Structure 1
Amino acid sequence: MEEERQWHLKSLHALEAHALSQGEGVVVAVPDSGVSPHPDLAGSLVPGTDIIPGGSGNGLSDTDGHGTGMAGLIAAHAKNSSIGALGIAPRAKILPIYSSPAHRDGTSEALAEGIDYAVSRHAQVISVSATGAPDAHLQRAVKAAIQANVTIVAAAGNIGTSSLVGYPASEPGVIAVGGVDRNGNHAAISVSGPEIDVVAPAVNIYSTGLNGGYRVGTGTSDATAIVAGAAALIRSKYPSLPAAEVAHRLTATAVDKGPPGRDDQYGYGVIDLVAALTADVPPLGFESTGVTAPAPTAAAPDARGDNGTARGLATLGALLAAGGAYLVWRRRRRADDPPPRISR
């Protein structure tokens, strides 16, 4: 693996994250142009399916190269090769779904069927590096996957196709991904919008390609596969964590960019793999109290000598104070701040 070629790995401190989690035990579904077997994906691919005719019957063929590239960004494992590709979650499994003959030429119906299939095969993460029309079938499939506790990561879309965040990235509960360049700035190709949750590297991204070769891609597709790999790392380390909390952990630990707080170009910021795996992140809803409470005065024991009330007030005060402290930490987490290292 050459660091200069795979600049996104160094930028995201992927090797440091791999000391904490490598995605073992997690299945990531990739509805795309199929996935061609590749040396860097040996052992990482499980038989999938073809939603549309013309493939191998199990998703394990690709004439376009896009799906193979996305799979590599998630789970390639050529650590000892000077030209090999390394994924964000190299021990995750890839469930290939052939749902688009040339990636962008797929249909919403095929994508919906691909998502349904991924749920039926118990995939924990679905990486959607495509956008589609939000027809009734696709909306139903996406919502059903969310209800089934599946983490869905989807590309916001590229300028030229549309200036709006596409579907399913625009669906609440889906992690909508935009892109940044090598300098950590908004990638010119990435659309912006209020639905953006996080951003990841999206320019000149090196990954697996056809015929055992390699490809270099630019777009929110690549950023999406990277974030899907990050979700796999989290789901591997915290297997009981609900999908909504996986997304929350990614947004809460992201490195803020642009104007302070969430914005339409960067969302909550650039993903931070190590922080997402190590920070003590309060659960969803807890930080929304917006209350910073002083430690309460302990109540006197009641006539029975029961200190339960005093303990309860003290605990509540500590929780509320922690919630306020979390808000301050979240808002101040800027690009020049060190990532939190509050280990579990």
Structure 2
Amino acid sequence: MATALSLAISAIPPPGIDALEPGSDPGSTKRVRADQWHLTYLNVAEAQRIARGAGVTVAVPDTGVQPHPDLRDNLLDGIDVISGGDGSGKNDSNSHGTGMAGLIAAHGQGADLGALGIAPESKILPIRDTPEGGQGEADDLAASIDYAVRHGADVICISSTGGAGIALQRAIEAAVAADVVLVASVGNTPPDGAVGYPASADAVIAVGGIGRDGMHASISTTGPEIDVVAPAVDIYSTSINGKYRKGTGTSDATAIVAGAAALIRSKYPHLPAQEVAHRLTATAIDKGPPGRDDEYGYGVIDLVAALTADVPPLGFESVSAPAEGGASTTAVAQPGDDGPATVRGLVTLGVIVAAGVGWALVLRRRRRGDDPPPRISR
């Protein structure tokens, strides 16, 4: 039986999204940049003086990615896994996929005009696997991940969560074996009461959300699987037909973390995927109770620290991280066994997965002095 996937945000403009018309107001594109509060909150300007995502490809399996004036220079030809498009992945009748791509790689239209992504020199590989109405299938997501791996994606931003079929689990495993960084949304409440798949998988960076005040966003699902959090409320990005969108949900936070992963992979091109994830968790700004917790994971991503901090490689906490572009540690931990997953609906929320060959997420999710998180039975 097929596993359903449905968008968390699914109309035009979807609930929680305002469509903003460019052109009629000469200052509209500048207003969008000013309204992207997450750029200032995350000190994106400083981070982009260090890296801008050059040389990195981020796959976005979603509702498609429509060319937008702020994004089109970074948009590759992709694929339609489902029928109804032109085969390029560039048709989007919903706006969700276009919005996720903009948060990752929008280059804007000059100094302070238009939307700006976290990694504006990265490339987007658009994969249309979810139809306009937002109801897709887990097997289509699996096919999308397989396509992304075959076509050289360095990061995959998966905007869905829920349960998993056999094909999807195998696709995640193949991405891990290919050293692809996968990032996944933990889900929105309601309807999600617990972290779903693939965010719950050991080899995935599970992303939750915070509000403008830096505190846990009520829409963000909580749980022991959460790794990091990022802004998820009133997030402006690109939309279809040259418009802009304002969204709230863990989709947005996930796309932002995917952009962060792209920055790290750009600065450290030889760093394995598990070390990319380790940089994100080890440099995160702790929130809530000391150490990892179920609302914030290890904390709010810190882009500048993730790009510059002396982070000991996994398994060598007392040893300095490798120099820029250098090889990382060769120590290997055995991955844990995953039990069978219950197949249920997938809710598109914005997911990014980070994975590395032969490494257990239990190591990646540790900070020095922290106990590893408990194993989650599935």
Give the TM-score range, shorter chain: 0.7 to 0.9
1:185 to 204, 215, 219: 215
Could you say what secondary structure the match of 1:200 adopts?
strand
Structure 2 distance, partners of 1:104, 1:220, is: 16
- What is the TM-score when the length of structure 1 is the normalising length? 0.83
User: After the TM superposition, which parts of structure 1 deviate over 4 Å for at least 4 consecutive aligned residues?
Assistant: none
CA contact (8 A) 2:312 2:318 kept: no
2:173 to 118, 143, 147: 143
Could you say what secondary structure the match of 1:39 adopts?
coil
Q: Does 19-28 or 71-80 show the bigger shift?
A: 71-80
Greater C-alpha radius of gyration: 1
1:232 to 242, 245, 262: 262
1:155 to 179, 185, 207: 185
Report the equivalent of 2:332.
none
Q: What are the superposed Cα offsets for residues 135-177 of structure 1, whole Å, 9 maximum, x if unpaired?
A: 1110010111011100000100001121111111111111000
1:170 to 200, 217, 224: 200
Report the equivalent of 1:55.
85
CA contact (8 A) 2:292 2:299 kept: yes
**Is residue 225 of structure 2 the alignment partner of residue 195 of structure 1?**
yes
Name the structure, 1 or 2, with higher relative contact order (CA <8 Å, separation 6+). 2
Report the equivalent of 2:368.
327
Cα pair distance change 1:169/1:208, threshold 3 Å: same
Could you say what secondary structure the match of 2:35 adopts?
coil
After TM superposition, the structure 1 = structure 2 runs for residues 5-16 of structure 1, keeping only pairs within 5 Å, are 5-16=35-46
CA contact (8 A) 2:69 2:109 kept: no
CA contact (8 A) 2:71 2:105 kept: yes
Q: Does 97-106 or 37-46 show the bigger shift?
A: 97-106
**Is residue 159 of structure 2 the alignment partner of residue 129 of structure 1?**
yes
Return the letter of the residue paired with 1:57.
Answer: G
Return the letter of the residue paired with 1:209.
Answer: S
Structure 1 distance, partners of 2:313, 2:301, is: 18
Report % sequence identity. Answer: 64
Cα pair distance change 1:103/1:253, threshold 3 Å: farther
**Is residue 157 of structure 2 the alignment partner of residue 116 of structure 1?**
no
CA contact (8 A) 2:78 2:126 kept: yes
Report the equivalent of 1:286.
316
Return the letter of the residue paired with 1:108.
Answer: A
CA contact (8 A) 2:53 2:265 kept: yes
Higher helix share: 1
Return the letter of the residue paired with 2:231.
Answer: P
Q: Show structure 1 runs of 5+ residues with no match.
A: 290-325, 332-344
Structure 1 distance, partners of 2:34, 2:125, is: 29
Q: What are the superposed Cα offsets for residues 108-147 of structure 1, whole Å, 9 maximum, x if unpaired?
A: 1110000000000010000011114211110010111011
Q: Report how far residue 186 of structure 1 moved.
A: 0.3
Return the letter of the residue paired with 1:155.
Answer: S
After TM superposition, the structure 1 = structure 2 runs for residues 298-337 of structure 1, keeping only pairs within 5 Å, are 327=368
After TM superposition, the structure 1 = structure 2 runs for residues 204-223 of structure 1, keeping only pairs within 5 Å, are 204-223=234-253
Q: Show structure 2 runs of 5+ residues with no match.
A: 1-29, 320-366, 372-378
Could you say what secondary structure the match of 1:244 adopts?
helix
Could you say what secondary structure the match of 1:96 adopts?
strand
| Alignment coverage as a number of residue pairs | 294
Structure 1 distance, partners of 2:107, 2:161, is: 28
Q: Report how far residue 197 of structure 1 moved.
A: 0.3
**Is residue 114 of structure 2 the alignment partner of residue 73 of structure 1?**
no
Could you say what secondary structure the match of 1:232 adopts?
helix
1:91 to 96, 104, 121: 121
Q: What are the superposed Cα offsets for residues 14-34 of structure 1, whole Å, 9 maximum, x if unpaired?
A: 010000000000000000000
Report the equivalent of 2:52.
22
Q: Report how far residue 56 of structure 1 moved.
A: 2.0
Q: What are the superposed Cα offsets for residues 213-246 of structure 1, whole Å, 9 maximum, x if unpaired?
A: 1000100000000000000000000000000000
CA contact (8 A) 1:104 1:130 kept: no
CA contact (8 A) 1:66 1:103 kept: no
What is the RMSD computed on CA atoms of the aligned residues? 1.8
- What is the TM-score when the length of structure 2 is the normalising length? 0.75
Structure 2 distance, partners of 1:177, 1:102, is: 25
CA contact (8 A) 1:158 1:191 kept: yes
Structure 1 distance, partners of 2:307, 2:279, is: 8
Return the letter of the residue paired with 1:186.
Answer: H
